[in-house]
Structure 1
């Protein structure tokens, strides 16, 4: 009985302690909420964004000011500066309704929030003479925002980082300036890159292809993929940034004497309106005319002058006839200016898929093989055909003589449209496994020249291997390899010997072809 009474007393004491602790936590929580309130929808400043007539901000020791007149925003320091109107609209929208995620009612020391020396100060004036100033201090990475204070308000607020980011641009990031024209590769007829005494040109030829000229001399054996890549680099030019909108001293950017000039001739489709003389005569009384629209190709040209490099390794550039100066990627300019005709040389040895070949002749030493591709009915179709013939013959014996003759003729007739075929390779009567042939063929089709001779060489000695491929379009490519030196073999392709390939690549081709054909 005494034990029960003692346990009851202990339980009452514990319950009382818990109640006191609960009340203490509630009290502290209320105080905390009074000192630090949080509300995702706490609007701390609002104004009709359309009524804002002036904006200025200071950041990193630099200040920018803008004024709105007759619905257009201007740079307060230079009214002729081409201000991007959309950027200023973004700023007015940000100032129209400023929201906070937390409020600190009684901050003891502004330096704790970086507001004694703010990183950003933003001011605006509205048409009703309403003014406000916002100072932005430290960033709270954990909360994902920045501390902000408003003029006339003792509280400190935590706002999303988007507010400060809106006012993070320098003057030329807020400029409405020209961009590099949009040009499609198909519309280009000529590209000319001149750097010093060197000129590289890519132009359309009469056959609808492209040719490469270096210092006015046409270069042969150029890879179309390399030409396409070069053209894509030109069409992909963009201005990374702007540095001057009305440059009066081009020498400051090395543009008084450009290091390179890139000219592009291209065509663009434009719609023109034509009014016929008959239409004008017929409608003279009614003062109405009928017009027709027509799309025509218009020839155009742009010239991009390349100046000096900046500290980041990029280049200053200006379009011909323009006073605007821009920055273009250094990698892009080097890709164009440093290109030589030799960089376009096609280093492949054999272009063409095995699927497009119909015959291959291989010679290794005194041995030679003639391979042909044949189209053969699949084995399953042959078996089905034989079975059908047998069944139909049995039925024929059970019918009249006339019916038997008709059925036998139908059974012997093969409907080619329903017969599936497959392609197989043969050396004489011996079938060559397609997987093995493909592997050996890839040694040749995947081979690349490691060096290109300026002038054609003369093959000496016997060929290590010769391969002649007859294509489906009845054209032929012949490749033979002879020893050039201790490291290379000379590849003679359709009679021209300029490409040097690694001797190990040739040795592997010989080894794989020999193993395939001598099985």
Structure 2
């Protein structure tokens, strides 16, 4: 029936083709998709296996190469020493033969009872002689001069605890490879080349191998006082820990210090490290200017709850701009980079004076009298308690209530001014008075600040009962007067 239907009925033929045959085609397509997914999955698995194989092969190759390098290195070792058995080492230094001996597990210099060995330095020497590999073996054929070995540049003599003596003869450095020529037997025909830095490690003066005291590492926030003692302009910086610092001059006068400047000096001291170690047991301080230091800095700080301090003496400046220095009167001489000390050496108490002079908390204000162009205006706040127990504040100018924002804008313009620079003395004569502010505080005390014309850029400001002076930028006063004008317009 279906067959006939498909033959004779055009609509059914369409149905057959689009219905029954379409389902078969869809089934075939789904099967192809699954087949493709399976093939793709197999390919991914094969790729992963191939990657793992390559990784393992690469690791084995590296392991084989490393083992080969180790074997080649071992095969090229031409000199070995059991460093645990070494009892002494000697070699040519800048000032003659240097000898170090091991006594009771401590390395000493038999020629200097004060000398203390730098542990890192002796370990470096021992590492150099423990196993010496050559990169190349040469036949000298009696011509040792071409390698600098006719008269070796240095001879390293090694004594072992059993009495055995070993020597290494160091020649010139190859100008192409920068490797050293050396021999294990004097005047033999065998010459070796090595990368071991015998020329720099086994060189220098006795002081280069000495142990030195490190400069104290102190965090800035733990510092409490700097006592800067100089021939002139001595001062003391006191860090109270409450975001305030004071500076005291030679006469004992104390003033608030500029926190930014104090912070810079704290950071400088905290970052100091010895630039050079020059002497471990100095007997002549004159040549360093340390017999009469140009500055003695005493740093006081807290280590937990314990109060500690150290003293740094600073002498002359060397040809490179560094300063000779001595810690806690130890006989050691060092240099310190000039950048860490210049601010302390060149400054006075006045250098640290705070540039803030105008701040008065509005909470402490009883009234502010403002005088300009001969007219004085009185600003004050009036606090009243309502029947409900709440407080209300009125802002008054010449006893007239004004807008709070206009009042506070002017007030904070007045108390936010900082100086451009402090003056070491109060000028005897000033220009015309531009603005005068007299603050009366709730405790009855007063603070008077007066601005005088100086030049086109600055006003001279006199404050603290006329005892201190500074220069301040005219823009500050311009802002104050503009806000005052807006405030006074409210009164019209």
Residue number in structure 2 paired with 1:300 = 308
Structure 2 CA distance, aligned partners of 1:61 and 1:109?
A: 29
Equivalent position of 2:105 in the other structure: 71
Cα pair 2:268 2:341 within 8 Å, conserved: no
Give the superposition deviation at 1:205: 4.0
Q: 1:169 to 1:348 in 2, by over 3 A?
A: farther
Does residue 268 of the first structure (1) align with residue 303 of the second (2)? yes
| Equivalent position of 2:350 in the other structure | 342
Q: How does 1:101-500 map to 2 (within 5 A)?
A: 101-106=135-140, 109-116=143-150, 118-128=152-162, 129-140=164-175, 142-152=176-186, 153-205=188-240, 209-251=244-286, 253-269=288-304, 297-310=305-318, 312-347=320-355, 449=420, 452=423, 454-455=425-426, 483-486=453-456, 488-490=458-460, 498-500=469-471
- Give the superposition deviation at 1:340: 1.2
Q: TM-score, length-normalised on structure 2?
A: 0.59
Counterpart of 2:118 in structure 1 is: 84
- State the Cα distance separating 1:121 from its structure 2 match: 3.1
Give the conservation status (yes or no) of the 8 Å contact 1:81–1:175: yes
What's the offset of the Cα at 1:502?
A: 6.3
Over 3 Å counting, the alpha-carbon distance change for 1:460 and 1:307 in structure 2 is closer
CA RMSD of aligned residues (A): 4.8
Q: 1:479 to 1:455 in 2, by over 3 A?
A: closer
Paired with 1:98 and 1:82, the residues of 2 have a C-alpha distance of 27
Q: CA deviation at 1:159?
A: 1.4
In 2, the alpha carbon distance for the partners of 1:165 and 1:98 equals 15
Q: 1:317 to 1:60 in 2, by over 3 A?
A: closer
CA distance in 1, matches of 2:242, 2:88: 61
| Stretches of structure 2 lacking an aligned partner (at least 5 in a row) | 1-71, 360-371, 374-402, 404-415, 438-447, 484-492
Instruction: For structure 1, list consecutive stretches of 5 or more residues without a partner in the other structure.
Output: 1-38, 270-296, 352-363, 366-427, 429-444, 467-477, 514-519
Larger radius of gyration: 2
SS at match of 1:180: coil
Cα displacement (A) at 1:458: 8.7
Residue matched to 1:374: none
How far, CA to CA, are the matches of 1:66 and 1:489 in structure 2?
Answer: 70
Q: Distance in 2 between matches of 1:486 and 1:110?
A: 81
Contact 2:152 2:169 in 1 (8 A): no
> Is 1:66–1:74's contact at 8 Å kept on the other side of the alignment?
yes
- Name the counterpart of 1:423: none
Check 1:298–1:462 CA distance in 2 against 1; reply closer, same or farther (3 A cut). Answer: closer
Superposition deviation, residue 235 in structure 1: 3.0
DSSP-derived class of the 1:87 partner: helix
Instruction: Give the distance between the partners of 2:142 and 2:477, measured in 1 at CA.
Output: 83
Distance 1:261 1:101 in 2: 54
Superposed CA offset, 1:186-216 (max 9, x none): 3322211111143110113485632111114
Give 1:47 deviation, angstroms: 1.5
- Which moves more between the two structures, 321-330 or 494-503? 494-503
